[in-house]
Amino acid sequence: MTATVSVEERLAESPVYRDFVAHSFFAGVESANLAKEQAALLIEQWWHPLHYFPTFLARCVSVLPDIAAKSAITRILNQEAGGGVVSRAHEVIYVKSMAKCGFDAERVTGTAPYAETAALVAGYEAASARQESALGFIFATETTDLLMVSSIGKAVERATGVTGNKWVTIHVAQEPDHVDQAKAALLAGLSPEQEEAVVAAADEMWRLWSGFFDRLVTESGVGA
């Protein structure tokens, strides 16, 4: 068995990962009758990691040692940033699509982060300083991003009745490629010590996201 497969399997079997995907918020969104203000809490807090993510990816490219990994992550960055067209950047589409659903753009981008949200963004910044932690955060993010994005889409739809959110649709279309690129970035041979660091970083990312959603449960009541 290669080191790459070993890392992938270990990440998929992580108890921290399993706890995260079973978070009560995700189940709560499936059944809750959300008020618009409840959904707004999620949308406003999500803006902060969304806005920082292209910076995180750019920093990761700078610390990855081989061109194959750099190329894989640059592909994700290119899509996130709109491929040279600002109007196609994910954060721009996010704000516009939420505005179409009736959420105030200034609140979406101007609401202060909760402590847990700030800790999450700080975690991404710290992780981008080293190859192993960068890889761990990238892989962990891309393998669970669709779950989180789908939950946002469901929350918006339940709260407003608006379907076909463009930002959600783009993620559904692009996320399989993002996952493939994240896996490609792990193809470079890793030592056992590096594998441990990648797995530890992925677990840390899932813990930070669990904290993010814990706070949303507390503030919104969804999944409580």
Instruction: Return mean pLDDT, the chain.
Output: 85
Side chain identity at residue 211, one-letter code: G
Number of domains in the chain: 1
Q: Which pLDDT score, from 0 to 100, does residue 109 have?
A: 96
User: Cβ(220)–Cβ(38) under 8 Å?
Assistant: yes
Q: Which pLDDT score, from 0 to 100, does residue 57 have?
A: 94
Q: How distant, in Å, are the alpha carbons of 111, 121, 144, 184, 211 from that of 46? A: 10, 10, 14, 27, 13
Handedness of CA 200, 215, 108, 118 (dihedral sign): negative
- pTM for the model stands at 0.88
Q: Which residue positions in the chain have pLDDT lower than 50?
A: 1-4, 178
Q: Extract the tokens encoding 98.
A: 């939420």
Q: How distant, in Å, are the alpha carbons of 109, 140, 173, 220 from that of 179? A: 27, 9, 12, 30
Backbone angles phi, psi at 83, to 5 degrees: 60, 35
Please give the distance of CA 128 from its chain centroid, rounded to a whole number.
Answer: 14
- Per-residue pLDDT tens digits for 151-160: 888 888 888 8
* Domain residue limits at 187: 3-220
Alpha-carbon span 64 to 71, nearest angstrom: 10
Alpha-carbon span 71 to 169, nearest angstrom: 25
Alpha-carbon span 165 to 100, nearest angstrom: 9
Torsion region of 185: left, alpha or beta (phi above 0 gives left; psi -120 to 50 gives alpha): alpha
- Per-residue pLDDT tens digits for 29-79: 888 788 888 889 999 999 999 999 999 999 999 998 888 888 888 888 988
Alpha-carbon span 131 to 3, nearest angstrom: 16
Enclosing H/E stretch for 114 = none
Report the CATH number at residue 122: 1.20.910.10
Q: Which pLDDT score, from 0 to 100, does residue 165 have?
A: 77
Q: Which pLDDT score, from 0 to 100, does residue 58 have?
A: 95
Nearest to 53 by CA among 169, 158, 171, 138: 138
Q: Which pLDDT score, from 0 to 100, does residue 1 have?
A: 36
